Amino acid sequence: MTDGSKTEGPKKTRTTRRHFLAGAAGLAAAGAATRVRADDKNLPPNVAPWSKSLGDGVAVRPYGHPSEFEKNVIRRDVQWLTASRESSVSFTPLHELDGIITPNGLCFERHHGGIAEVDPNDYRLMIHGMVDRPLIFTLEDLKRLPRVNKIYFLECAANSGMEWRGAQLNGCQYTHGMIHTVQYTGIPLKLLLEQAGVKPAGKWLLCEGSDAAALDRSLPLEKALDDCLVAYRMNGEMLRPEQGYPVRLVVPGWQGNMWIKWLRRIEVGDRPWYTREETAKYTDLMENGKARKFTFVMDAKSVITSPSPQAPVKRKGFQVISGMAWSGRGKVKRVDVSLDGGRNWREARIDGPVLDKAPVRFYVETEWNGEPWLLQSRAIDDTGYVQPSKDALRKIRGVNSIYHNNGIQTWALKTSGEVENVEVG
């Protein structure tokens, strides 16, 4: 992070180093928040203008947006990562969020050929191959079928992929922001496959998008019949275009690349297809030059979202440490937090729902008096899997695998209250 002089606009709320230190110095004096300044015209005992005059009426904002003071709560990308924005990724601002649900407009994006703008009237889902009755469904057809509502996280297999060789990106939006969680409304894939009638020899599905990458992935039939959905709603409303409007595949707990967006076709076959996306990409290269394939499930992982580099500590005294933990293998059973880089751990308090293949929100409430901390969190899921350290992962996998980096993240909280992404040894 460098100084904030390049940035513009009086309402900027990002904490730059200069801004931050000035704030911290001010806070050293007790009662800073209650001091009355000349420009405190909106603070008591004065009365703010919004208390005196009428505001916008109903339906002036027919589709509501966040407050203008929340303009910095946005998806961001890292332009050097990819050659073009059409085949790239943007990151969820995890440091600005709480609870487990991601607002639809903040769900990270990963496209391979840009956003397909599908006309719902021309939407078709084809199911064919080793089936008794090859079928085509319209969107209206799909909406007539029985549906379920499920909350799942979607994590890109490359989440934290830039951190294999050491701490690189300074913000949990960038290190961990390729994840989002919404409630999907959709049809169990099992039910749709039953309509077509899968032949006994059918063992794998090829699922394909209708975008300009026609992204295709092989999905084991067993998983399809277990808990996959063909979803058309997120958090109650229709899917956003960037999330596959009008229909996407939901593959709970498995890598995001398999959650085919703009889903147009499902073919039943007797073996996997070994598409480019499951061979040249989304395979995990080990130190010996061989690569793991079909590493579908996302291992247990967690991150402290606040404090974090984009969410520094502004006040000494009582602190709420907040984070998120998840596992593709099931439910999160426990989350531990360390303040000393993993020497000593304490159990965090999980608040809110604990669901299968969905994140939990965790908190540690404690005091901070300016001492340096090395903040870590580790997730433990209900299979007994304990999130490993980055070094433990590297020992087995080396540093070339790109995908599935679920190692424990360390944030260094400095005396100033600033937080930095660091590597510890």
Partner 1 sequence: MSRWGRDFWLSTASNSAHSRASGNPETVRRSACVVALGPRFRGDERLGKRIALSLALLFVLAAPVLAESAKPHNYGIGTRATAEQIAGWDIDVRPDGVGAPPGHGSVKDGEAIYLERCAACHGEFGESAGRWPQLAQGKGTLASNDPVKTVGSYFPYLSSVFDYIRRAMPFGDAQSLTNDELYAVTAYVLNLNDIVDDKFVLSKETWDKVKMPNANGFYDDDRETAEKAFWNPNPCMSDCRAPVKITGHAAVIDVTPEEAGANDKPPRKGGVE
Q: Restricting to residues 215-234, which ones interact with partner 1 according to CB under 8 A?
A: 215-216
In the list 24, 115, 127, 335, the residue contacting partner 1 (rule: CB under 8 A) is 127
Q: Which amino acid is residue 273, in one-letter code?
A: W
Kindly state whether residue 2 participates in binding partner 1, applying the rule CB under 8 A. Answer: yes
Residue from 21, 285, 350, 354 in contact with partner 1 (CB under 8 A): 285
- Is there binding between residue 174 and partner 1 (CB under 8 A)? yes
Nearer to partner 1, 101 or 257 (CB): 257
- Work out which of 283, 306, 319, 377 binds partner 1, going by CB under 8 A: 283
Report if residue 350 touches partner 1, rule: CB under 8 A. Answer: no
Question: Which of residues 145 and 238 has its CB atom nearest to partner 1 in the complex?
Answer: 145
- Which residue lies nearer to partner 1 by CB, 108 or 152? 108
Q: Which stretch binds partner 1 (CB under 8 A): 54-62, 79-87, 94-102, 235-243?
A: 79-87
**Of the candidates 7, 18, 309, the residue with the CA atom closest to the CA atom of residue 26:** 18
Give the residue, chosen from 87, 104, 183, 235, that forms a contact with partner 1 under the rule CB under 8 A: 87
352: left (phi over 0), alpha (psi -120 to 50) or beta: left
Nearer to partner 1, 101 or 155 (CB): 155
Question: Which of 18, 41, 165, 199 contacts partner 1 by CB under 8 A?
Answer: 165
Give the interface segment with partner 1, choosing from 2-10, 25-33, 53-61, 356-364 (CB under 8 A). 2-10
377 phi and psi angles, rounded to 5 deg: -135, 150
**Least gap, CB of 330 to partner 1 (angstroms):** 12
The residues near 190 (Cβ < 8 Å, ≥ 6 apart) are: 224, 225, 226, 228
Size of the site for partner 1 (CB under 8 A): 121
Which one among 45, 62, 64, 384 touches partner 1, defined by CB under 8 A?
384
Shortest spacing between CB 298 and partner 1, in angstroms: 11
Binds partner 1 by CB under 8 A, chosen from 88, 104, 183, 416 = 88
d(CA 388, CA 373): 20
Residue 91's H or E segment, with its range, is strand 88-91
Task: For CA atoms 405, 304, 259, 270, give the dihedral sign.
Answer: positive
Q: Which is nearer to partner 1, 171 or 359 (CB)?
A: 171
Q: Please list every residue from 95 through 114 that binds partner 1, using CB under 8 A.
A: 110, 112-113
Contact 190, 92 (CB under 8 A): no
Count CB atoms within 10 A of the CB of residue 13. Answer: 11
| Residues in 295-334 at the binding interface with partner 1, rule: CB under 8 A | 295-297, 299, 309
- For the stretch 291-295, contacts whose Cβ atoms lie closer than 8 Å and that sit 24 or more positions apart, written own/partner, are 291/401, 292/401, 295/157, 295/255, 295/403, 295/404
Which residues sit opposite 248 in a β-bridge? Answer: 231
Please select the residue that binds partner 1; options are 115, 229, 355, 412, rule is CB under 8 A: 412
Question: Near partner 1 by CB under 8 A, which window of 30-38, 58-66, 73-81, 319-327?
Answer: 73-81
Q: Does residue number 78 form part of the binding site for partner 1 (CB under 8 A)?
A: yes
What is the residue type of 194? E
Nearer to partner 1, 100 or 176 (CB): 176
**Which residue number, 148 or 396, has a Cβ lying nearer to partner 1?**
396
Please select the residue that binds partner 1; options are 40, 340, 365, 371, rule is CB under 8 A: 340
How many CA atoms does the CB half-sphere of 364 hold within 13 Å? 25
Q: Kindly provide the b/e burial profile for residues 235-263, where b requires at least 16 CB atoms within 10 angstroms of the residue's own CB.
A: beebbbebbbbbbbbbbbbbbbbbbbbbb
Rounded distance between C-alpha atoms, residue 273 and residue 216, angstroms: 9
CA distance to 11, 163, 168, 306, 373, per residue, from 421 (Å): 27, 10, 7, 12, 12
Site for partner 1 (CB under 8 A): which residue of 103, 331, 386, 416? 386
**Stretch 7-26: interaction string toward partner 1, x if CB under 8 A:** xx---x-x------------
Report d(CA 120, CA 238) in Å as an integer. Answer: 11
When computed from its CA atoms, the radius of gyration of the chain, rounded to whole angstroms, is 24
Cβ neighbours for 274, distance < 8 A, ≥ 6 positions apart = 218
Q: How far apart are CA 225 and CA 192, in angstroms?
A: 10
Contact status: 263 vs partner 1 (CB under 8 A): no
